[in-house]
Amino acid sequence: MKIDLRFLNRPIEDLWCQAIVLLVFQNPSIVNDVLSNINDKMGGSLNDLINRGVWTGERGENLLLATQGAIRADRLLMRGLGPVGVFDNEVLIKEVSETGTALDQMGVREFGINVPSADDRYNEYGMHIETVATRLVEVFYDKYKDDPEFLLKIFFSIDNDFINAVDQVIKRLRRNMLPGLDFSIISDSQRNMD
């Protein structure tokens, strides 16, 4: 099994991959930059689904849409994290684990993901990114560790405000990655330092 992790400060809707994953808190607002950009490109369909209560972002709630070429990925998967007030690392681990399982069942091996930040928890954002990366790798590793041809590519779309904070996350990921795993990690923050 091979892993390719990329931490990019590019809009998630501009990434070429099989699927885009948005982790979203309950009662989302289309004013959010990520949702707003994707909503615009998808002709307002996200706003309509949210306003009609079809998708609310409740914990564990999934919404899978075919993008029909509106964004570069073929599919958009939104996973509800529930209310921001009760969000913690335990919630994140469970929801990311189930998201990884869903992606695997769909045959998705290359995807972009956006992890939201709670405004008052800026300092925890790096920990959340690390948790998401680690848990997603573990989900696929459990099933494909003995397959030398299996390649998992995960693109993390990181807001410019957080991209340099990812350096510490990358150091910990490199140090703690599963033994013997063939992996590469690339970050836009590291490219900027070259």
**What are phi and psi for residue 164, nearest 5 degrees?**
-75, -20
Q: How far apart are CA 172 and CA 186, in angstroms?
A: 14
Superfamily (CATH H level) for 2-193: Leucine Aminopeptidase, subunit E, domain 1 (3.40.220.10)
Q: What is the pTM of this model?
A: 0.93
User: What is the residue extent of each domain of the chain?
Assistant: 2-193
pLDDT of residue 122: 58
pLDDT of residue 119: 64
Residue 145 CA, distance from chain mean position: 21
The chain-wide mean pLDDT, for the chain, equals 91
Among 151, 159, 119, CA closest to 5: 151
Question: In Å, what is the CA distance from 152 to each residue of 28, 76, 116, 127?
Answer: 29, 18, 22, 21
| Positive or negative torsion for Cα 148, 150, 156, 157 | positive
First to last CA, the chain: 29
pLDDT of residue 194: 35
**What are phi and psi for residue 143, nearest 5 degrees?**
-100, -30
